[in-house]
Every structure is written in structure tokens, then in C-alpha cells.
Structure 1
């Protein structure tokens, strides 16, 4: 018997072995299985936030006039990514509350929450396919890379107790918080074939304003305390804008950085940390910074021809002492 006959016999035997297996693999997926995977995601969207990113997209459409079907798809993609990123953020930050309710991973577990968030990232990418535009893929990939770079640096500073400079923090915020706003505007520009660079520059500055405002409110707003817990950034050990200013104002005073190190849940200790920041003028400094950024944004909006919807959003974001 030659080698070919041996090979044929071996292949036939293998085929028979496969046929004797007690199962047959069939590639299938069902709505029920999809629902199981998406439970953490659906739990979070059942408790909606301010949907500020969708409002920004609608406002920028005043200038860009994106076809309605494409605009709806862009809005969906950005909201999917935002919600998925919150699932991950809450795990990485050891958060307790999100929008006034327990975080998703406290109900569904950390593995399911992480898997769900990653799955939604790819579902959003799958939505991008509907544009049939290679540039959309590049925009999506670029901004998701920025998002993770920003988050990675924030985690590094927290976990190594390394206080960044103000400029380092602004760069991180531009990557992390500004990323999804920038993604929305870039996708809109691609859909409308707009070449106005100032739209991206504007949304970059708005992203910085949005995050620093959030930093301030986390430490000063009673409403934020109800939704996320009192001064949650202190428990997280996060180097936020007011905290960075206070620490760098007097590097010889290590009280605040040591409080961050504790990841404290003590209300009394948090009140003391807030007192330290007030004494260093950090909240006043933050408010002045926000006022300057707000004016710069409004000047840019005016130079671009005005935008009533965007100006209304800026009014809502304005923080009064």
C-alpha cells in the first residue's frame, strides 16, 4: 500500500471520528443571549444621565447639517461608547454609586461588566460599518486610542501617588474626556464633508471645561454627593484639578496627598481635605480658570457665526461660586 492510500485511510478514520462526536458546532446567536451579555449596559442606560454628548452633537449640527439618518447613527455610537466607558470607569475607580444607584458591577459582577463594556465597544464599531466610509474607521480607532491613553495616565498617577502638573492633567483630560466629544464632531464632519478645523479646536476646549467643572462639582456640589457619594474623588484617590492645584501650591505640606493615599470613606476626613483646598485657594482658582475657559469658548462660538443651542449648553455648564 502506498503512502497516498495510508493518508486516505487516516483521513477517512478522522472523518468517522468527527461524525461520532456527541455534538455538532453551529455558529448561532440569539436575542436571549444578546440580552444576557448586555444586562449591565441596559441597567445603566435605564438610569440615564444628562446625555450632554447627544446635546453637543445636536448643537454642532447647527453648523454641520449632517443628514438625519447619519446624525442619528453618530449619536447612537457616541452614547454607546460613553455608557460602556462608564462601566469600565466604575470598576477601575471602585465606585459605589452611578447616577444615584448602585454601580453595575456591584450587581452583575466585575467580569460580566468588563466583558459587556468591551462587547459594546465592538458593537459600536459594527455600527460604524453602516457608513461604508474607511475614514470613519480611522476616526473611531484614533479616538478610542486617545480615550484609553488618557484613562491609563489617570490610573497611573492614582496608583503610584504621582501628582501631575496642571499641563499634564489638561493633556490627559483632552485625551480622555474630550475624546468622545471630539469623536462625535469628527464623525459629523466626515459625514458632512466639512473642512472647518476650528470645530475640533472648539470641542477640545469644551472637553477641558467639562471635566474641570466636574472636578469642582465633585468636591463642592450636594447634588453630586447624592448621585455619586460625598467627595468621591477623594475616596478614589484621584488627582483632580483642584486637588492638583492645592498639592502643588505647597509641596512641603503633604497632608492632602496623604489623605488621597488612604482612599478614605471618612466624612470627617473628607471635610478636612476640602478645608485644606479652600485654605490654599484651590476652589477659587478653579472657578477663575473655568470663567476664563468659558469666555474663550463663547468668543470662539461668536467667531464661528454663533450657535444658540451650543450657547444654551454653555449656560448650563456655567458654575457660580
Structure 2
């Protein structure tokens, strides 16, 4: 990553960006990158430009991941201590600002219009992030419509940044923005569902590890109003579920009980139905755009939520 090196030969820049390299080196699922590169099936931009755009987007994504862990008070990411847990809050916060400026610098070098696109999509992401934190910390349950809007902003900032930057070098000027928003919503709701129904995380927990329930339903520990929770507030399980959510518990037994309440309320089935509908709509839209086998393969990989 030569762009992190100091031009003077001093390695201090790499040291102050250790929070970034700490998270960047964690293993990630291949479909994340495949989703971005699959856009090129439509856009047909030169390989070097596509790779640069994907690298810029992934750098921005890691930056938002680091910030997200701070905002949520997360201690572990993929089983490894988070950046702020490892390097401390001051250095990690500084690295976020540093990274944002590095992304801006790379955008200005990429194309005259790229910096404006980055600012527009970055603002959408941080607006969504801010709305989620505000409702969580003030314990305000959003409507399902407001939740959809917030989550779409959070992830469209990543996907649309990639799409729009690539489109700068493409002859295809089709407006894919609605499709990208829907793709973002699907991605986020899938994350909501898998966070609750992650069978692997559940298997790694047990009542004997009651105070350290790992990655099993950590959205509950963070007090997040996700789609299953919002749906459940309209049912007879509302009071019990909201009281558990308010505690921001890390108690395995209590988390397990909350999952059973969500199942009884029909909220998990409702989320499955929403995911199925979104998957179908995305595939229909892909066909309308002339098909995209690489992106369809990514959607196939994402169907793993059905096995949880």
C-alpha cells in the first residue's frame, strides 16, 4: 500500500495508520469485492480504472467500519480486537480523519468529478449513520419506513460511490441509482437477520460463557433498532423485547430468550419474507438491465442467509 508511505521516507505515516492496516488485513468474504467488480459487466471501464475505484471504495469502507466499531462500542471484529480496542481511541479517531483525506486525495487524482461524488455519497452515509446512532442512544424506535431510509443511506454511500466513480469512465450512462439503493437495503437487512440467526456464533456460545456471548446477536448488545425489533414492537411481545434491548445485554441466556420472542412474534419470518421479496426484485431488475451473471452469482452467494 504505497499510498500510505511518507514521501520523505519516514515511516511515521504507516505507524499512525496502524488502526487502518489492523482492520484491512482481516480476512473478508470474496463476494464483497466481487459485488463491486461485477458492476463492470455493465459499465465496461478499463481494468486499471476499475481496480483503482474498487481500492478507493474499499479504503473508505474500512474507514467506516473503524468508525462504526467506535460508535457501537464493539470490542471484537471477526474474532479480533477492534482497532480502537487495540490502538486506543485517540490514535484511531485521528486515523479516521486521516483516511478520509487520503480517500479525497485519491479521488482528486482519479477524475475532476470524483471528489464531488465522494462528498455526496459520504454525506449520505454519515447522515444514515448519525440517524441510527441518534435513535439508538435516545431509545426512539423508528418506523419501518424511516429505518429503510436510514439503512439505504448507510450502504448506498459505499455501493453508489463505487458505481458512480466507475461510471465516470464508462460510455454507459444508465441511471442505476434505484437499483443500488435496493441492493443496499437487501445487504443491510440480510446483515440484521444473520446477526440474530448466525448458527456458527450460536454454537460457539453456551450458558457457561454467559458473560461473553461472542458475535451472537451483538446488535442486541449495541441496542440497535433493526428490522426484526421494529416489527416486533407491533406485537404482544413488544414490552419484553424493548426492555431487553434497553439493557444492551451481553448475557447469552437473555439474548437467546429475545430471539425466541422474535420468532414467536413472527418478526424473523417477516424479515425472511422481506429478504425473499428483495432478492426477487433485484433479480428482475438485473434482467431489465440486460442481465449480469457475475452480480447474479453474488446474489446466489448472499442466499446463505436461508441456511442460518
User: What is the CA–CA distance in structure 2 between the aligned matches of 1:228 and 1:62, rounded to whole Å?
Assistant: 38
Deviations 1:53-87 (A, max 9, x none): 42122111001011122111101110000101111
Which structure 2 segments of 5+ residues have no match? Answer: 1-5, 205-212
Q: Please name the residue that 1:145 is paired with.
A: 123
Q: Name the CA shift for 1:279/1:72 in 2 (closer, same or farther; >3 Å).
A: same
Residue 138 of structure 2 corresponds to residue 160 of structure 1: yes
Deviations 1:178-234 (A, max 9, x none): 21011101111122143201x222111111000000000000112356696111000
Q: Please name the residue that 2:243 is paired with.
A: 258
Q: Please name the residue that 2:54 is paired with.
A: 75
**Alignment RMSD:** 1.8
Tell me, yes or no, if the aligned pair for 2:121 and 2:156 is still in contact at 8 Å: no
Residue 127 of structure 1 deviates from its aligned partner by 0.7
User: What is the CA–CA distance in structure 1 between the aligned matches of 2:272 and 2:245, rounded to whole Å?
Assistant: 22
Q: SS of the counterpart of 1:254? A: helix
**TM-score of the superposition, structure 2-length normalised?**
0.90
Q: SS of the counterpart of 2:125? A: helix
- State how 1:241-256 maps to structure 2 within 5 Å: 241-250=227-236, 253-256=238-241
Q: Please name the residue that 1:222 is paired with.
A: 199
Q: Please name the residue that 2:103 is paired with.
A: 124
Q: Please name the residue that 1:236 is paired with.
A: 222
Residue 36 of structure 1 deviates from its aligned partner by 1.0
Tell me, yes or no, if the aligned pair for 2:286 and 2:292 is still in contact at 8 Å: yes
User: What is the CA–CA distance in structure 1 between the aligned matches of 2:30 and 2:87, rounded to whole Å?
Assistant: 24
Residue 177 of structure 2 corresponds to residue 200 of structure 1: yes
User: What is the CA–CA distance in structure 2 between the aligned matches of 1:151 and 1:108, rounded to whole Å?
Assistant: 23
Residues matched between the structures, number: 292
- State how 1:38-49 maps to structure 2 within 5 Å: 38-49=17-28
**TM-score of the superposition, structure 1-length normalised?**
0.87
Q: Name the CA shift for 1:123/1:147 in 2 (closer, same or farther; >3 Å).
A: same
Q: Name the CA shift for 1:233/1:213 in 2 (closer, same or farther; >3 Å).
A: same
Please say which structure displays the higher CA radius of gyration.
1
- State how 1:302-317 maps to structure 2 within 5 Å: 302-317=287-302
Q: Please name the residue that 1:106 is paired with.
A: 85
Deviations 1:140-191 (A, max 9, x none): 1000000100000000111000000111000001110221011101111122
Which of 265, 268, 277 matches 1:280? 265
User: What is the CA–CA distance in structure 2 between the aligned matches of 1:69 and 1:93, rounded to whole Å?
Assistant: 36
Q: Name the CA shift for 1:302/1:224 in 2 (closer, same or farther; >3 Å).
A: farther
